[in-house]
Every structure is written in structure tokens, then in C-alpha cells.
Amino acid sequence: MKNYKKPISLFKQTNFSKTIWWQLKVNISGYQNATEDKLVTEIFQNRIFRLLYPNSYQQNHKFSRILVQLYEDGYLCWINIDGLIIEKCELGKTENSKKELFFTKDKINSILKWIKDQSELTNEYLWGGTLGPNFDCSGLIQTAFFKHNIHIPRDSYQIKSFCKHLFYFKESNAGLEPGDLLFFGNEEKCDHIGIYKGNGLYYHCSGKDFGRNGIGLDTLKESNDKISLHYKSKLISAGRVVRNYRWDRTIR
């Protein structure tokens, strides 16, 4: 096993540089702010980040939490110094993206099977959950794609902006294909996401209020099921993942 240096020592060596990338060697939690324990995401080992705060080393200041930006999705969150194990990461050149669409299409069946497998495990809704078995709505979708080497943003409204727009649900939804993403919310903001399975059915991870408190299968078809009806009333639009998130070209 490698003898990793304490992260604060590594950061000091690079003067808390914003241009250095670090790779995680453990799973960690990401928080909303510098002090409270409000989880916003869970972060897999081997993911990459850069340091945003502090941006210079302060000799007499002890930091318990730092602000980082994740490489794979541009996400911002605070992480604890305690328990952090990292090593410096040299990023290679960005790969050619011409075949991204075909690569994504080839993975859809596996992505849907992975979600089905997760739904059969004991699980419940967890705000900020991405590691499983407990997820939030966008955490489930992002991780399903991440597990198949497709990087997409973290939150549902970010994923909506990132996807190729297909249509709004005031129009016909006959063009839906398995793997298309469904966005829910109101006129102001998307706040929920699901993934289309086919035959009018979609997977999503919903909460206790109006939902299933975990991963479930609901329908776009006419139904007497109160949960399906609730989410159908909140449908905004559909989108399709046609590219990989890339740090050097994606607008965040």
C-alpha cells in the first residue's frame, strides 16, 4: 500500500495551486458549505478535483474543509480534510469526441440494466446520494452513466441544459427512445429526473413526499397510480445524452 502524504502537506507544496489536479484514493462526501453537514454529493475514489479555496496558504489558519471543483462534471462542493487521501494527477490530452454519440448509444442497454439491478436492492432516497444503494434522483442517473464511462453533470437542471433537447411534453412524446432522460419540475426550474426504459415506462429515484422513497418504475401512460400521475403532471421535457462532459469545452 502506498504511503500517501497528508493532503495539507501536498497542498502546501503547490502553494494551494488552482491549476494542479488531484485524484482521490478514497470515497468521500461533498457538502454544501464550509461548516454544515448538508450532503450535496458523494464522490467516488479515483475522481479528480482541483482546489478553489483556500487559494493561498495561510500559515496560522487551520482548514477542516476545502472548496473543490470536480473534473468530470465541473461540480463545486466542500470536502473534509480529515480522512482525505489524494495524489497529484497529470491529465492527458482530451480524446477526440467524434464517436461519442455512437459510444453512448451502445451503452444504453447496459445503463438500464444497471439501474434495474440497483432498484432490486434494498434502497431509499438519499439527498446527495451517488454511491448507492441509496441515491437521489440525479445521483442515480449520473452514476449510471459514470459507471459506463460517460460523464454528465451532477444536478437535474444541469443535466437538462447539457442534453440534446428533444421536445416539450405539450407535444407528442412518440419520439422517445430507451435511455432518453425525462425532466420534471415547473416553469422556473427542473428539479427531478428519470430515464426512459421503453413502452411508456421510466426509472427514477423519488423521495418520500409524492414518491416511492427509492428507485421505482413509473409510467407515462394513462394510469390510476397516484405517484405516476403526480410526476406526469410535472413533466417538462425530454433530452438525450449525445456527448461526454469535457472540461475544456463544456459550459458550466
E strands of 56-108, at which residues? 65-70, 76-80, 86-89
> For the chain, what are the domain ranges?
7-89, 100-240
pLDDT digits (tens, 9 = 90+) for 76-101: 999 999 999 999 998 875 555 556 77
- Are both 7-89 and 100-240 of the same fold? no
Tell me the average pLDDT across 163-188.
Answer: 90
Q: CA-CA distance, 162 to 241, in Å (whole number)?
A: 8
Three-state SS for 150?
coil
pLDDT of residue 100: 73
Q: CA-CA distance, 218 to 211, in Å (whole number)?
A: 10
Contacts 24+ apart (CB under 8 A), 7-15: 7/81, 7/84, 7/85, 7/86, 8/63, 8/81, 10/86, 10/87, 10/88, 11/51, 11/57, 11/66, 12/57, 14/88, 15/56, 15/57
| CATH homologous superfamily of 100-240 | endopeptidase domain like (from Nostoc punctiforme) (3.90.1720.10)
Architecture label for domain 7-89: Roll (2.30)
pLDDT digits (tens, 9 = 90+) for 186-227: 878 999 999 999 999 999 999 999 999 999 999 999 999 999
Whole-model pTM: value is: 0.90
Assign 3-class secondary structure to 94-146: CCCCCCHHHHHHHHHHHHHHHHHHHHCCCCCECCCCCCCCCECHHHHHHHHHH
pLDDT of residue 98: 53
For 198, the grid coordinates are 421503453
